[in-house]
Amino acid sequence: MFPHPLTAPLQRVVLPILETKKVDWFVKRLDLVHPLLSGNKYYKLKYNMLHAQREGTKRLLTFGGAFSNHIYSAAAAAHLAKMEIIGCIRGEISTPLNPTLQAASDMGMILFPMERNTYRNKSSPQVIEMLREQFGNCYLIPEGGTNSLAIRGCQEILDESDRAFDTICTSLGTGGTMAGILASANAHQHILGFSALKGDFVQTDFEELLRNHSLNPAADWEIFTHYHCGGYAKHSAALLELMRSFFRTTGIPLDPIYTGKMVMGILDLLEKDYFRPGSRLLMIHSGGLQGNKGFEWRWKQALYPE
């Protein structure tokens, strides 16, 4: 009832700086695990979908911004599982729909605009009750999709063969993906999280997430909070140039919200000799490429011009 992921290919990055610093860098292409539902969102949604199906729920409901990868992916998951889904979208929904919302709507998602104040209180009993009156009983998936079933799914991102790597790099939003990776990592591995959000709260929020889910990882971890380019979904000309040059040399497309900023971080750490010679790095490409259409629509410029 739920599609199997394709095997995520491992791709080696070849750059002069890697030779100089004697570091191996491989990318695990989760962006290629399924044509509709890819990236970390596949893993985050998998057990939620299976759980909802087992409970006999017909209808899902979730939350997100107008360009959200989670909204797009939840719509895709519901479409594949032949379930109904309501997407509560932060703020107004303007028409024509942006590419993310258009695709979500095409996959059958019912879009429900939520005034920003209501959206902020979306977990309150009042708002939950209002949604229940409007849409009946639904299986609720939180904004960003992080819950214990999502973390369980993300424990399947790494497999046996990834033990050959000593350092695993991942992008971080709510931290659900990193929590799953960390929970399944080996004691000799270092898990590095690159925050897409601005602020040091990310660190304590992540510690709280681990506590709330009773995770006591064997591997150690570190979160970098200064590669956000000004904040969540903010970008700079330097970031876009870096993404383009990375694409030219590796053929790997990135997104400007998450993976582009992670690559920016990794390149900076390489420059600063953060990685010991002989290090073997695995970067998790968490997908998010659907968002590139939204980015181009919003900023009226091509991310990867011909």
Ligand X SMILES: *Cc1c(COP(=O)(O)O)cnc(C)c1O
Question: 125: which 2 tokens?
Answer: 């009993």
Closest approach of ligand X to the CB of residue 174, in Å: 3
The window from 81-89, 169-177, 218-226, 293-301 that contacts ligand X (CB under 6 A) reads 169-177
Binding mask 271-300 for ligand X (x = CB under 6 A): ---------------xxx------------
Candidates 153, 173, 256, 265; binder of ligand X (CB under 6 A) is 173
Among the listed ranges 14-22, 129-137, 197-205, 252-260, the one in contact with ligand X (CB under 6 A) is 252-260
Name the residue number minimizing CB distance to ligand X: 288
Which pairs from 47-51 meet CB under 8 Å and 24+ separation?
A: 47/149, 47/150, 47/152, 47/153, 48/77, 48/139, 48/141, 48/145, 48/147, 48/149, 48/150, 48/153, 49/2, 49/77, 49/78, 49/81, 49/83, 50/1, 50/2, 51/139, 51/149
Q: Which is nearer to ligand X, 23 or 223 (CB)?
A: 223
Residue whose CB is less far from ligand X, 21 or 41: 41
Exactly one of 38, 48, 62, 69 binds ligand X (CB under 6 A); which one? 69
Among residues 62, 177, 189, 279, the one that binds ligand X under rule CB under 6 A? 177
Q: Is the Cβ of residue 100 or residue 174 nearer to ligand X in the bound state?
A: 174
Tally of CB atoms within 10 A around 304: 13
Q: Is 172 in the site for ligand X (CB under 6 A)?
A: yes
Among 100, 146, 147, 184, binds ligand X (CB under 6 A): 146
Q: Residues 73-99, buried b or exposed e (16+ Cβ, 10 A)? A: bbbbbbbbbebbbbbbbbeebeeebbb
Q: Does 167 bind ligand X (CB under 6 A)?
A: no
Task: Look at strands 10-12 and 24-29 and give their pairing.
Answer: antiparallel
Per DSSP, the residues of 53-110 read: HHTT--EEEEEE-TT-HHHHHHHHHHHHTT-EEEEEEEB---SSPPHHHHHHHHTTPE
CB of 88 to ligand X, least distance (A): 17
Q: How far is the CB of 70 from ligand X (least distance, A)?
A: 6
Binding status of residue 144 toward ligand X by CB under 6 A? yes
- Cβ-based burial of 159 (10 A; exposed 0-12, middle 13-18, buried ≥19): exposed
Query: Is 262 within 8 Å of 194 (Cβ atoms)?
Result: yes
Please report whether residue 151 would count as binding ligand X according to CB under 6 A: no
Q: Which of 64, 99, 153, 175 binds ligand X (CB under 6 A)?
A: 175
81 binds ligand X (CB under 6 A): no
Q: Contacts with ligand X in 179-238 (CB under 6 A)? A: none
Comparing CA positions, the residue from 110, 100, 101, 102 lying closest to residue 78 is 110
| Residues forming the site for ligand X (CB under 6 A) | 39-41, 69-70, 144, 146, 171-178, 255, 258-259, 286-288
